[in-house]
Structure 1
Amino acid sequence: MAFPAAPTESGSAKLHFLTTDGNVAAGWFAIDTGATGTGTNTVGFAAVATHVHDDAAGAPGGLTTTSVPLVLVGGVRDDALGGLTPVEGDAVYLLVDANGALWTHDNALDAALAGTELQVDIVAALPVGANAIGKLAANSGVDIGDVDVTSITGLTMLNAAAQVTGDEAHDAADAGNPIKLGGRAQTSEAQPDEVADEDRVDALFDRSGYLRVRGDFDPSFADINDSASGNNTIIAAQAAGKRIAVWAILIVADGTVDVRWEDGAAGTPFTGQVPLQAREGYSISAGGIVPLFVGTAATLLNLELSANIVVHGFVSYTVIDD
């Protein structure tokens, strides 16, 4: 902007009062001296432009009629930016730091800053397409919320504690899509290890992939060639905690006699008294699924005869843990 040239005044000429348009008798002027007033004097608020852009701040200035005047603005140094006492609506100082930089304040940044880190809340969903979730450090503890995984390719479980559970609980309606199950291969002669009640166990298969059931493992055989009336021990009592499981029986009598299988000598009957005549007998098998009967722990298998008649045959059995 340009100011009009100052009119030439001399003597005791006074400055004219300005009208509301601010143009009457306006121009450049200088105040050489000012009289010292007495009493109460009121000086109106004034802003004086003394410099233009690129002037040295310490220079007296050199305004011309074509200069764009500037007013230098200062502030109060406050290195720690302490709180202000004025209330809302009061006039306050501009505060600067030790370097003269003006202090500013942003409420939004205050909420995002935590110590020396800038926290960013992601408020929008991850866009569709090939966008990826950033890789997290191992055991970072970062919770990324609920994620629906639509497909997994080439998944490798590096955590030994990773578990897969089904969709439905016991006795709930089946939802289909079964999970393929496997087990541990073992020869049919091997005896599975006993575990404690309520322990989890492996499913056992033979080396061809057929599911093993109780009785598939290699049984033992005991001969029957006895003739004493009363008790006849066919299989001796096993060690503590071991029981005799009978899977199959073949018996033939030389004469008329009643036979009965018992748990121990004169013990609890497994069968009734079966009457046989000469050259008669029977053969029975459990079919390899469940045993015919299982004795109590550390108890012999007894064959009771009603007369001194020779009987022949064998018993197929296994010894199982109590």
Structure 2
Amino acid sequence: MNTAPTVDAQDSGPAGVEWTAGAELRDTAGATSTAPEKLWGNGTWLVTEFVLVGFSNLPHLRTTLFTLFLLTYLVTLSGNVTIITIIHVDRTLHTPMYRFLAVLSLSETCYTLVTIPNMLAHLLMESQAISIPACRAQMFFFLGLGCSHCFLLTLMGYDRYVAICHPLRYSMIMRPTVCLCLGALVFCSGFSVASIETCMIFSSPFCRGARVEHFFCDIAPVLKLSCTQGARKALGIFFLSVLVVLVSFLLILLSYTFIVATIVKMPSATGRHKAFSTCAAHLTVVIVHFGCAAIIYLHPDSLTLWCTRCATKR
């Protein structure tokens, strides 16, 4: 009668892999690193570490990609730091509009800091592994900052609405204490949504492989590895994400509807031009941000993909 292999305390096995008594060593990573697993109570192998596939299929381009992404990251970082510094130093820019812009730049800096340095490190290393707690933390901050970004753009749209449609009451409505409370509400709301989605995704173990088909821990690539995620829970996460993007975008659209209606009634061409110019930068950021979000997460195939992935888990 065959017996399962046992491991002594001195027998450590291959690096980066856990052995479980009564079970054979299994390798499901399939990438440049081996992801450890352990045996669940019902005999199911659980992944205890993910492998970010990312650009592992392009080993000959690693140096080029590293250089390209590093330069892009440094340009973005220096641009945001410059904006924050100028607004902080120049007291004439200590107005709600520019303070929100500084907060937006800081949020953007943190947003890239969550994913880019880790991606750059993986481009230089053979191992592409990331622990589940690290993956959970990365997803939480990525989603939290992303949702806060949407809400902050909405708040900036409201600020422009008050400035153009109610200029005489602007200083009274957008008082420093009000701006501070609104800013705190933006980030509390964003990270509350992130906490809900992250808890839903990581509430069950992972047993459907260790390969995350992305260069960071995003929702869909991680969710498809879960053992017990049902279609109902996956659709709940999807529609919560849609709700954040859609509500934010519609509120911005409502603000600009009133702004345009006010601008076209202005008798002076100079006044109309000045009003439009104050909104141009914000409107550009809104189009880029929500356009990218829609292309990546909200296109029709995305819902089909989520349903297909979750239907196989029932």
For the aligned pair, the TM-score class normalised by the smaller chain equals under 0.3
- Greater RCO, CA 8 A, separation 6+: 2
TM-score relative to the length of structure 2: 0.21
Query: Greater strand percent: which structure?
Result: 1
Higher CA-based Rg:
1
TM-score by length of 1: 0.21
Whose helix fraction is larger, Structure 1's or Structure 2's? 2
